[in-house]
């Protein structure tokens, strides 16, 4: 499904080669739980997707692990924000906010975390919906 979907993305989006099984396993180990299935299969098709202006719509598995570990383990983050454990952040808006899926609940929705207000708002019904809307500029409206 994902390779076909990625092939339909506009030229402004650039997909990296697939993540290796080792990279996906290392990511899950770093997080302390398996990645959500849809995110795993997307990374297995493209280890990162960059949109217009260099916005990282999908982080590579290594960065995904590093960012989530930093957000979950940082004492300063814990003092400022609600816990991040329920979320797996996977990409950015380009303005400091981050996109996430639920870590341990099998629900396809994508949420955006606002770094200024700590709000977590529904953004899209699935990763495919999110990517389609992100590359077309519909998430900015």
CA dihedral 36, 31, 96, 76 (to 10 degrees): 140
pLDDT of residue 141: 43
* E strand residue ranges, the chain: 14-15, 49-50, 56-58, 87-92, 98-102, 110-113, 120-124
pTM of the shown model: 0.91
* Tokens read off for 92: 């950015």
Domain ranges of the chain: 2-136
Mean pLDDT by 10 residues, the chain (141 residues): 91 94 98 95 97 92 96 84 92 93 92 94 95 78 43
- Round to whole Å and give the CA distance between 101 and 124: 10
Return the number of other C-beta atoms located less than 10 Å from residue 105's C-beta: 9
Residue carrying structure tokens 């924000």: 81
Give the CATH number of domain 2-136.
3.40.1580.10
CB 112 within 8 A of CB 127: no
pLDDT of residue 139: 61
pLDDT of residue 135: 86
pLDDT of residue 70: 92
């Amino acid at each position: 499904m994902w390779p076909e979907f990625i092939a339909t993305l506009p030229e402004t989006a650039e997909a990296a080669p697939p993540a290796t099984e080792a990279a996906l396993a290392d990511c899950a180990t770093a997080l302390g739980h398996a990645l959500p299935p849809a995110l795993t299969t997307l990374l297995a098709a493209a280890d990162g997707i960059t949109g217009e202006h260099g916005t990282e719509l999908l982080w590579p598995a290594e960065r995904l692990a590093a960012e989530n570990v930093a957000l979950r383990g940082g004492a300063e983050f814990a003092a400022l924000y609600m816990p991040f454990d329920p979320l797996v952040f996977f990409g950015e808006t380009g303005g400091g906010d981050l996109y996430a899926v639920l870590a341990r609940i099998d629900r396809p929705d994508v949420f955006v975390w606002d770094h200024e207000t700590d709000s977590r708002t529904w953004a899209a019904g699935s990763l495919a919906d999110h990517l389609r809307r992100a590359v077309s500029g519909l998430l900015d409206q």
